[in-house]
Structure 1
Amino acid sequence: MTVSYSTEVKTLPMIPLRGMHVFPNMVVHFDVGREKSINALEESMVKDSIIFLTTQKDANIDDPTEDEYYEIGVVSRVKQMLKMPGDNIRVLVEGITRGRIISLVDEEPYLKVEIEEYNYMEDDIEIEDKTDAIMRLVKESFEEYCTINTKIPDDAIMSINEINEPNRLSDMIVSYIFLKSADKQDLLEILNPYERLERLEILLRQEIKVIELEESINQRVRKQINQFQKEYYLKEQMKAIQQELGEDYDTGSEVDEYMAKIRKAKMPKEAREKAEKEAGRLMKINSSSPEAGVIRTYLDWLIELPWNKSTKDNKDIAFARNVLEEDHYGLEDVKERILEFLAVRQLNPKMKSPIICLVGPPGVGKTSIAKSIARSLGRKFIRMSLGGVRDEAEIRGHRRTYIGAIPGRIISNISKVKSNNPVFLFDEIDKLASDFRGDPASALLEVLDPEQNGTFTDHYLETAFDLSSVMFITTANTTSTIPRPLLDRMELIEISGYTDQEKLQIGKRYLLPKQLEEHGLTSDAFRMSDNTLTEIIQKYTRESGVRNLERQIGSIIRKSAVQFVEKKKKSVTVSKTNLEKYLGIPRYRYDEANKTHQVGLATGLAWTAVGGETLFIEVNLMNGEGKIQLTGQLGDVMKESAQAGLSYIRAHLDKLDIEEEFYKKKDIHIHVPEGAIPKDGPSAGITMATAVVSALTGIPVNKNVAMTGEITLRGRVLPIGGVKEKVLAAKRAGITKVLLPMDNQKDADKIPVNVKKTMEFVFVEKMEDVLENALVKGE
């Protein structure tokens, strides 16, 4: 018989289904929980129990729109409804005919759609031969599918064979087989029964192949598992026989391997005896016990350590000098120390490695110089950050009694690089912490003491490892937070910071080429003059190092990259005239420290963890009762310096030509601006005394003079630290004359030559010398 269909337009309530498909002639149940779906269901029951069911494209969407469900669905009859716990309704429906959504009529309080329903009709004309043929093929394929898929009911083949209608046949088979959601929707949308059967035959053959493949894999896995079980059973039998005979062949073989590796590792006598003892213990215990695993791990650590493996030092001083010069500009003290080490190493190969501590503000190249040292020596490089480390086990490791114990990070890193003489960098040693888990700084004493580190004992290893060949380098921003015993074991090399000229050379030689390479540009396409770099250094950065300078250069290059890509420019030139276009308005103006000589305003110099800074100290006099007020977040040392300065002034009223009773009639307010920043240290004594004298005498302080030094009650000027950083800060601020304590003359050699040429340095011994050079008399 021939199958055809007619169409009829209807308006029906609709439910979009999640993750399931309903076909004509299929009876299925599902749960309804969404409010709109429940309303649609109730509306259909009020009328003729007819409802339209389609499938959502994405099952996770709670409130699907018109584009989020399929057009083709099934007109169905609600046969039964049952209320479930939680306001859900279980529905039993029967698919009737296919339908296609023409339009969405309404969305509230339920989805109502206008559909075109396809009603299939049959007449008495016999089925065409090709339709008959495809029906037979599909029935045979389904029978084969049922044979290999044991989940299909036994009576399914019989019920399918009794169907002689192509339309009904395809829909019934779909209800039995497993198909992907897309394939089911594909079959639902094919209206021609013959084409639908052809597609169904293809899908059946694919599913049969997949099931056969799954079965093949399943049999192979089952066979392997059976083989493993057999081997396990035989091994257990063998183990039992060996135990009866007092032998353990497997463990004995493993111990022999460990013994061979121990001999090959060339350990010191103590470590070798320890390893052999542990290997002997492994022989006596059951190989599957947890203790055996602990021993194996311990032996592996001992064997893998480079007890006698080291890299050969490159003793070519010329090569080392070239490497250091190539990687870094300036830092002469560090470079000279490394070259000294290489020279002495040639004369005495057994010399112990130095413990160098590089101290300086951030961004001056402390970490990178350590890498260059390793490259110049031809050694492996290890970096270990100590910032925030508070557990002693990080240094010494855990004892083996703890579950999951491992060696400390020193031994672990040395094992990783497989060399017993690397360059080992302890970064940020000034930021170590301590708590109930121990004091890492104390644990480092043994590591950084040349007299002790030859027998360093990690808690996990429980045997000494020689660290005397390791070249330890540490870095710190300040030495004030490093414990004194630890500091005593290190050779300090200060990296104070860079002058503007040094920053210019670093920017031109290193930072600019590095940033160009990172951003994919060439020096031909991007140009920046020395004057432009100097402008960036002076007006857009304020630092001792060059880290912020590199950021500013990178920012300019990124903005230039946009011009290359968007505007198709061939080249970009950044000059002083267009620099603001890239970096905005200048952030700093060093040449405006003080515009005029002022009474009661003196310029001091201070040292901070990020370099030197200028410190402006203001003094105001007010009628009062002799009260003294100190403001500006001053620490105890600076407060005491102010008191000492005032005592000196009161003791020398005649010499200073100051009214005798001023301390009874005047209130003195000493203020250090930028009050949000804590300030403390013995560097501002003479500056505060000078500002007070200026306020009391009415004589202004020279705007071009900056000073640093501590004052005693008798007017002596005591030495201070951080001379180079303070002088560089004065240079950046446009100061031309600096007053330094007489005892700091030895530090003048550290001041760069080009700075010395442009500034005047006066070394003062008494407060009278300070006032002589700082006050502008006759104005």
Structure 2
Amino acid sequence: MSQLRGGGVAPRSPFPLLPLRTGVLFPGTSITLPVGRSRSVALLADIKAGAILGVVAQRDPRVEDPQRDDLHDIGVFARVVDVARVANGGYRLTLEGLDRMVLTALVQHDPYWLAEGNVAPEFAGDAEEGRVVATALRDRARELGPQLGSNLADVAAAKIEPGSYADLIAAALGMSTDKEMQVLSELRVVPRVKLVAELLNEAVHLADLKRKADADVRKEIGKNQRDAILREQIRALQRQLGDEGDDLSALRRRLDEAGLSEEARTVVDRELRRMESMNPQQAEHHVIRTYLEWIADLPWSKRAGSAGASEAEQHTLSGTDLDAVAKKLDEDHRGLDDVKRRILEHMAVLKLAGKTRATILCLAGPPGVGKTSLGQSIADATGRPLVRISLGGVHDESELRGHRRTYVGALPGRIIHAMKKAKVKNPVILLDEIDKLGTSYRGSPEAALLEILDPEQNKTFQDHYLELPFDLSEVLFVCTANDLSSLSAPLRDRLEVIEISGYTADEKTAIARSHLIPKHLREHAIDPSALTITDVALAAILRDYTREAGVRQLGRELTKLCRALALEVARASDGKLPRLHVDVDDLPKYLGKARFFSEIAERTQVPGVATGLAWTPVGGDILFIETSRMPGKGRLEITGQLGDVMKESAKAALTYVRSHAEEIGVDVAQLEQEDLHIHVPAGGVPKDGPSAGVTMFTALTSLLSGRRVRSDTAMTGECTLRGRVLPVGGIKSKVLAAHRAGITRVILPQKNARDLEDVPKEVRDHLTIILADDMSQVIAAALEETPVTPTLGSGGLATPGFGSSGTT
């Protein structure tokens, strides 16, 4: 056992240990601290005054149950001077530091900590140098003690050896735990004294900065109070002299330069007179001033490209090079020919006439096809600023029209905010997710859009806050939506809808090569030459890992590849740039197993299953309709959470089969002894619409005739009781979905032939399109020639398939 310098003998290992969350106990000093941690309380219940224990600081004060790595290596042996109970059940403990300790291990945690350690050796070094640096430290402490407001002057008078004197100074400075641990961990006396001298100078410097900051704050407060009094006196004199302050003059000048309408000028003059007659301390003075500043900030007459516009806006529409604009649109977006043509037509009118009335374009299509980014391209092409307003979840009319000034904190609505942000009266305003508007007791924001998006009315749009007509007739509104069926008929009537059905595989490949891959490589700070994806691998990603109309999921898959390459770059230790060559065989390694596969052949290998085409808000998809027969009494069961329209189609299909039983080889008498079941998988998803009739007719005919539906064929269309095939909508989306799913033959209504012009030529070239106006033509094209002997219960596979959700 070692004799401690402060008196007493170092305890045998293991000895009780008391971790401190914050603060450091130095040898030769005393501290009093509260103890409330359960293990520390258990320790104090077992020891008495005079006991010796180990004290060590935690590295992180937030740790409740510290382990060995959570504690510093150097602590102190301390004597318990006093232990007192306090009201909250804890203890107040007074300790006296004796000598430094090297903590070697924690050997027990319950009921309190026990540790192993030894007295830390202290290296005195050159005694003469130690006395010299200690004397210098003592003189400095005696000189600076009053500036720090501590007991440094008393400590400076102590006559003790240099190492202990440095500990006393460090304890008196009240530093952070990290800095105190630097001193405690220094076992060499001379470096310790020098370190404390540096910390003393730093503390004096910080104290000087704090005193200076406090003085500046007091001086600034006094100046502000004096300025406020003087300003009020100036206002009083100006009111007596009939003059007005500079701030009011500046506001009046801004209003004069705003180019206000006659009605707005009248209102502004009236409000200015009211404000001049009020005391600036009145609450209404501030309300009127805010109102006038909003009016001054709005672009009443300033247009993009006009005099006074910013340098970025000096694009004169009348001199626009339409070929250059077309080239810019082609560079930004692949495909979307209808949208580009409509933009060029709009700009052609601007070029010829100089102006045109408000145009409201609505880009409708599934997610990920570039509707929002197309708005930015339109703004760039027309030389106008773009302001985006997200309408998703907006359920209060005041969000668009603003709040009346009678309400506290009233402000204009989003439309006026957008005009203020645009700073011109002819910007491009992108109304994003217009089909996601909500409705509540506060009113319908969709109804507010009826005025905003009406070219005949928005010239005199009135915000509730302004209560002044504001001209929106020169704004180019661009709306985006996934599903227009949720919009009211009056609102749809105001929109010029442009359908964006999605991209073909070739277009997706081109988008990936020209836009997505370079973009993600830049975002991951990777050299473009480091990643190589073969055409076959990219086609496999489109086929096996994505099944979407847009390219959003494709972007996520390419992000995975870039992350894999980023990991190899970060791990490279030789400084060489890794290369990632991705082929088909590498995809499972980077992207995981394939998520999509074609099951059409498997589904249609028995009679009674037909593949239909459906339209959903997220693009076209394929839809399986399954039928089965069983002993019964001629009843028809329909499942799959179908709407009324699809249920009626199923009943009409059965009626058609019964009425044409002899033609398709069905025994009507046998039908009276069997029940039929029609099921559309993915029953958890509601499905309804008029375009499943042909598919249901075909599935029932297949079941009852025993002829399988061709596995390479999908169909869409509605059918009458007499077998006439009626046209349906969404042809482009449905045909693209069939192409994505590997279908090679598509049966469409004859009257939908004109809609095939919207389908890209490269898709039409890969498909055999069969046009039919009678169910006999559909059955002849869809069913195989050789019948399969049907059995009761056949034709209905219960496995739910992909692509069975949405509205047909």
Contact 1:719 1:742 in 2 (8 A): yes
The whole-number CA distance in structure 2 between the counterparts of 1:507 and 1:31 is 65
State the alpha-carbon separation in 1 of the partners of residues 370 and 656 from structure 2: 43
In the other structure, the counterpart of 1:696 is 704
CA 1:203–1:543: 2 relative to 1, 3 Å = closer
- Change in Cα spacing, 1:72 to 1:584, as seen in structure 2 (3 Å) is closer
Q: 1:310 — aligned with what?
A: 303
1:260 Cα shift? Answer: 0.9
Deviations 1:720-778 (A, max 9, x none): 10112222233334444333223223223223333334433333223333334334446
Return the match for 1:82 from 81, 84, 92. Answer: 84
Q: Partner letter of residue 272 of structure 2?
A: A
2:468 maps to 1:466: no
For these two proteins, the number of residue pairs brought into alignment is: 757
1:761 alignment partner, SS class: strand
Paired with 1:134 and 1:91, the residues of 2 have a C-alpha distance of 35
How many Å apart are 1:650 and its aligned residue?
3.0
User: Does residue 277 of structure 1 match 2:270?
Assistant: yes
For the residue of structure 2 that corresponds to 1:459, the secondary structure is coil
> How has the CA–CA distance of structure 1 residues 188 and 281 changed in structure 2, closer, same or farther, with 3 Å as cutoff?
same
Selected match of 2:413 from 403, 408, 416: 408
- What is the deviation of 1:72? 5.4
Aligned-pair distance for 1:230? 3.6
| CA displacement 1:459-506 (0-9 Å, x = unmatched) | 122112111111111122222111110000011111222233333333
Distance 1:103 1:777 in 2: 88
Kept in 2: contact 1:11–1:112 (CA 8 A): no
**Residue 717 of structure 1 is aligned with which of 722, 725, 736?**
725
Between the aligned partners of 2:549 and 2:611, the Cα distance in structure 1 is: 19
Residue 480 of structure 1 aligns to a residue whose secondary structure is: helix
Does the 8 Å CA contact 1:166/1:194 hold for their aligned counterparts? Answer: no
**Distance 1:142-1:481 versus aligned 2 partners, 3 A rule:** same
Partner letter of residue 513 of structure 2? K
Matched, 1:481 2:486: yes
Q: Deviations over 1:205-233 (max 9, x none)?
A: 65555545544444444344334444444
Aligned alpha-carbon RMSD (Å): 3.9
Over the matched positions of the two proteins, sequence identity in percent amounts to: 40
Aligned mates of 2:727, 2:116 — CA distance in 1? 93
Given the two structures, how large is their TM-score scaled by the length of structure 1? 0.85
Q: Which TM-score applies when normalising by structure 2?
A: 0.82
Find the aligned partners of 1:771 and 1:129 in 2 and give their Cα distance: 112
The equivalent of 2:791 in structure 1 is none
* 1:605 corresponds to 2:609: no
Q: Which moved more, 1:667-676 or 1:550-559?
A: 550-559
Q: Which amino acid aligns with 1:550?
A: G
Matched, 1:556 2:552: no
Compute the displacement of 1:261 (Å).
Answer: 0.9
Residue from 285, 290, 295 that aligns with 2:283 = 290
Equivalent pair of 1:145/1:208 in contact (CA under 8 Å): yes
Q: Which amino acid aligns with 1:510?
A: H
Query: Which protein shows a greater Rg?
Result: 1
Return the alpha-carbon distance in structure 1 between the equivalents of residues 677 and 782 of structure 2: 21
Q: 2:639 aligns with which of 612, 628, 631?
A: 631
Paired AA for residue 45 in structure 1? K
Q: 1:195 and 1:772 mapped to 2: Cα distance?
A: 100
The CA deviation at 1:644 is 1.4
Query: Does the alignment pair 1:222 with 2:218?
Result: yes
Partner in structure 2 of residue 11 of structure 1: 11
Q: Match of 1:268? A: 261
Residue aligning to 1:340: 345
- Secondary structure of 2:613's counterpart equals strand
Distance across 1 between alignment mates of 2:771 and 2:263? 60
Determine helix, strand or coil for the equivalent of 1:303.
Answer: helix
SS in 1 for 2:625: strand
- Of 535-544 and 414-423, more deviation after overlay is shown by 535-544
Structure 2 letter corresponding to 1:615 = L
Residues 22-72 of structure 1: CA distance to partner in whole angstroms, max 9, x if unpaired? 6677666444444555565566537xx253564524455555566725645
Say if 1:259 and 1:533 are closer, same or farther in 2 by CA, change over 3 A: same
1:613-652 deviation digits (Å, cap 9, x = unpaired): 2222222222321111112232211111111122233334
Matched with 1:741 is 749
| C-alpha distance in structure 1 between counterparts of 2:512 and 2:259, whole Å | 49
AA aligned opposite 1:222:
R
Deviation at 1:444, TM superposition (A): 0.6
User: Does the C-alpha gap of structure 1 residues 576 and 676 become closer, same or farther in structure 2, counting only changes over 3 Å?
Assistant: same
Judge conservation of contact 2:358–2:472 (CA < 8 Å) in 1.
Answer: no
Q: Quickly say closer, same or farther: Cα 1:429–1:28, change in 2 above 3 A.
A: closer
Secondary structure in 1 matching 2:484:
coil
Alignment of 1:38-117 (within 5 A): 45=48, 49-52=50-53, 54-58=55-59, 60-61=62-63, 68=71, 71=74, 73=76, 75-76=78-79, 78=81, 80-91=82-93, 98=99, 100=101, 111=114
Q: Is contact 2:418–2:429 with CA below 8 Å preserved after alignment?
A: no
1:586-630 CA-to-partner distances (Å, cap 9, x unmatched) read: 443448446877532333222222222222222222232111111
Assess if the C-alpha contact under 8 Å between 2:612 and 2:622 holds in 1: yes
Q: Which amino acid aligns with 2:90?
A: N
Q: CA, structure 1 residues 240+418, in 2 after alignment: closer, same or farther (shift >3 Å)?
A: closer
Residue in 2 that maps onto 1:124:
none
* Contact 1:75-1:98 at 8 Å conserved across structures: yes
**Which shifted more, 383-392 or 17-26?**
17-26
Tell which deviates more after alignment, 571-580 or 289-298: 571-580
Structure 1 Cα separation of the partners of residues 652 and 465 of structure 2 = 56
Aligned mate of 2:432, from 409, 414, 427: 427
**Are residue 370 (structure 1) and residue 378 (structure 2) matched?**
no
Cα distance in 1 for partners of 2:781, 2:39 equals 91
Instruction: Please state if 1:352 is matched with 2:357.
Output: yes
Aligned to 2:395: 390
Q: Do the aligned residues in 2 keep the contact of 1:699 with 1:776 (CA within 8 Å)?
A: yes
Change (3 A) 1:459 1:50: same
Structure 1: distance between partners of 2:115 and 2:25:
18
Kept in 1: contact 2:73–2:104 (CA 8 A):
no
Contact in 2 for aligned 1:98/1:118 (Cα 8 Å): no
Residues 74, 101 of structure 2: 8 Å contact kept: yes
- Asked if 1:528 corresponds to 2:530, the answer is no
Q: Which stretch shows the higher mean deviation, 19-28 or 411-420?
A: 19-28
Q: Which moved more, 1:679-688 or 1:82-91?
A: 82-91
Deviation at 1:353, TM superposition (A): 3.3
Aligned partner of residue 629 in structure 1, secondary structure: strand
TM-aligned CA distance change 1:266 to 1:92, over 3 Å: same
Distance of 1:597 and 1:105 partners within structure 2: 71
Q: Secondary structure at the match of 1:714?
A: coil
- SS of residue matched to 1:630: strand
Gap runs ≥5 in structure 2 = 306-316, 788-808
Is the 8 Å Cα contact of residues 255 and 282 (structure 1) preserved in structure 2? no
The answer for the alignment partner of 1:620 in structure 2 is: 628
After TM superposition, the structure 1 = structure 2 runs for residues 456-605 of structure 1, keeping only pairs within 5 Å, are 456-521=461-526, 524-562=529-567, 571-576=579-584, 578-590=586-598, 592-593=600-601, 598-605=606-613
8 Å CA contact 1:166–1:193 kept in 2: the answer is: no
